[in-house]
């Protein structure tokens, strides 16, 4: 399990506390498998609509790659969140503090699957962008695929909680669901990503993106 330094989480908590918007935080989840039938890699970008009670009310595919898209959509449809919060739009006050309210929000979920062949080309469909993301969720402008760890022998999938700042940089990464042989490679890769920051109620905000990296068992020798 990846852990940050003792200073990192404090700075991150301070940054999030300094903004009125608090992003939805994943609470319970299921994760998709690593398809044994896939002959290539793939990318799946999904925009989740999360209600005021933290439930996923719709899943909108932004980028798809068969056969991965359907199994990722099924998995994230069952996710639940601690709801997002913001200052109340009607500025009723409670003492010296603005009233808070739960709000509907968008959350980006990304699944990146490596191809099973390490050194040779693979067949299979290429990722296809079919819709544009809304401004409410951060969106990757640059992605990096992790290498297959040299000591890993089997398949695995790691789910990462990625904290994206108002500048679009990755401020912190936490392993939400661990695949021990792959956690370090996945974390190192996503730290290099760059995002278009989320905009909520007309202002850029720090938010959270959920990224899954799938590593199929390698074929074709190491």
| Strands annotated E in the chain | 25-28, 42-50, 56-64, 80-82, 84-87, 93-94, 97-98, 100-103, 105-113, 128-129, 139-142, 156-164, 170-177, 194-196, 198-200, 203-205, 207-215
The rounded distance, in Å, linking the Cα atoms of 154 and 166 is 37
Q: Which residue's entry shows tokens 């080309």?
A: 121
User: What is the per-residue pLDDT across 13-71, written as a single tens digit (0 to 9) for each?
Assistant: 445 555 899 999 999 888 998 765 566 889 999 999 999 999 999 999 999 999 899 99
Measured CA distances, 185 to 1, 94, 176, 192 (Å): 12, 47, 15, 12
Mind listing the pLDDT tens digit for each residue in 177-218? 999 999 999 999 999 999 999 999 999 999 999 999 999 888
Instruction: Give the architecture (CATH level 2) of 20-87+99-215.
Output: 2-Layer Sandwich (3.30)
C-beta of residue 188 within 8 angstroms of C-beta of residue 168: no
């Amino acid at each position: 399990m990846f852990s940050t330094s003792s200073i990192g989480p404090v700075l991150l908590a301070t940054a999030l506390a300094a903004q009125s918007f608090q992003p939805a935080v994943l609470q319970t989840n299921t994760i998709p498998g690593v398809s044994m039938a896939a002959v290539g890699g793939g990318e799946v970008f999904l925009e989740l609509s999360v209600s005021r009670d933290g439930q996923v009310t719709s899943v909108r595919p932004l980028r798809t790659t068969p056969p991965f898209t359907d199994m990722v959509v099924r998995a994230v449809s069952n996710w639940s969140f601690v709801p997002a919060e913001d200052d109340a739009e009607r500025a009723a006050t409670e003492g010296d503090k603005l009233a808070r309210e739960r709000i509907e929000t968008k959350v980006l979920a990304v699944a990146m699957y490596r191809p099973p062949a390490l050194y040779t080309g693979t067949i299979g469909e290429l990722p296809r962008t079919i819709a544009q993301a809304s401004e409410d969720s951060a969106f990757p402008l640059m992605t990096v695929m992790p290498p297959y760890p040299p000591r890993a022998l089997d398949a695995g999938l790691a789910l990462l909680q990625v904290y994206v700042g108002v500048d679009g940089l990755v401020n912190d990464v936490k392993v939400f669901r661990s695949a021990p042989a792959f956690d370090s490679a996945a974390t190192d890769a996503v730290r290099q990503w760059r995002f278009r920051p989320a905009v909520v109620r007309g202002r850029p905000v720090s938010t959270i993106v959920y990224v899954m990296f799938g590593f199929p068992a390698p074929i074709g020798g190491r």
